[in-house]
């Protein structure tokens, strides 16, 4: 699907008058899909963090196993919300970015292909960073629930350890696995790796997996 879209874009690079119909269609869809109201870009991260804190406070202060399970659910929902917020933070508005590429005058097919492939890489990076954050936080959370909580049954401890192990595997995979599109994007922008990625900046990777933009 991605290759087909790129092929169509390359055709549009040498556009004839009849090709304006496709351009106008893309312009219309971009306006329809772009939010009419702009909210705080950290909204989901903030709300998820609050749920995460509330879930932990409740989980580690109650002696009821039923309430512990309920608060564990709140912890998980909070972490998932944080991951979704991180995804929204890094994810580019696809239709608008395509229009930006097409609106650039005197752009060669090579430049158009370069911009489009980099856009796909930025989208793949957003997915990977979101999954990396979510799985890392869930691994930490389930480990704390298993070893720090009071009066936890062995069955629940085994469940938390299993879930923590699964998410640890996902986190390791997400850290090291990058699609070819993301590798292309990072080659252009710099070696941006780890949990922290600065969008649209040249990344300088540190030993802690932290990228900084200069």
- pLDDT of 15 > 70? The answer is no
For the chain, the domain total comes to: 1
pLDDT band for position 114 (cuts 50, 70, 90)? confident
Range picked from 69-78, 86-95, 200-209 for highest mean pLDDT: 69-78
**Percent of the chain, pLDDT > 90?**
36
Residue 78 lies in a domain: yes
Residue 185 lies in a domain: yes
Range picked from 37-46, 119-128, 147-156 for highest mean pLDDT: 119-128
Q: 184: number of CA atoms within 13 Å, CB side?
A: 15
Mean pLDDT of the chain, nearest integer: 77
User: Is 84 or 195 the better-scoring residue by pLDDT?
Assistant: 84
Closest C-alpha among 86, 85, 87, 111 to residue 100 = 111
**Which two tokens mark 203?**
């990344």
Residue 205 lies in a domain: no
Which range is least confidently modeled, 18-22, 114-118, 206-210? 206-210
Q: Give the domain extent around 76.
A: 2-7+22-32+40-189
- Tell me the mean pLDDT in the region 136-142: 96
Residue 64 phi, psi (nearest 5): -85, 125
């Amino acid at each position: 699907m991605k290759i087909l879209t790129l092929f169509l874009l390359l055709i549009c690079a040498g556009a004839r008058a009849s090709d304006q119909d496709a351009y106008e269609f893309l312009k219309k869809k971009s306006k329809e899909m772009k939010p009419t109201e702009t909210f705080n870009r950290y909204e989901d991260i903030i709300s998820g963090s609050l749920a995460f804190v509330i879930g932990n406070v409740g989980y580690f202060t109650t002696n009821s196993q039923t309430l512990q399970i309920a608060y564990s659910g709140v912890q998980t929902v909070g972490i998932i919300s944080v991951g979704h917020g991180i995804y929204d933070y890094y994810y580019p508005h696809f239709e608008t970015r395509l229009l930006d590429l097409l609106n650039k005058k005197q752009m060669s097919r090579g430049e158009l292909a370069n911009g489009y492939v980099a856009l796909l890489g930025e989208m793949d990076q957003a997915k990977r960073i979101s999954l990396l954050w979510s799985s890392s936080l869930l691994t930490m959370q389930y480990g704390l629930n298993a070893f720090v909580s009071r009066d936890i049954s062995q069955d629940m401890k085994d469940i938390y350890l299993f879930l923590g192990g699964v998410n640890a595997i996902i986190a390791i995979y997400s850290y090291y696995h990058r699609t070819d599109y993301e590798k292309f994007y990072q080659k252009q922008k710099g070696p941006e790796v780890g949990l922290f990625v600065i969008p649209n900046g040249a990344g300088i990777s540190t030993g802690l997996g932290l990228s900084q933009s200069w």
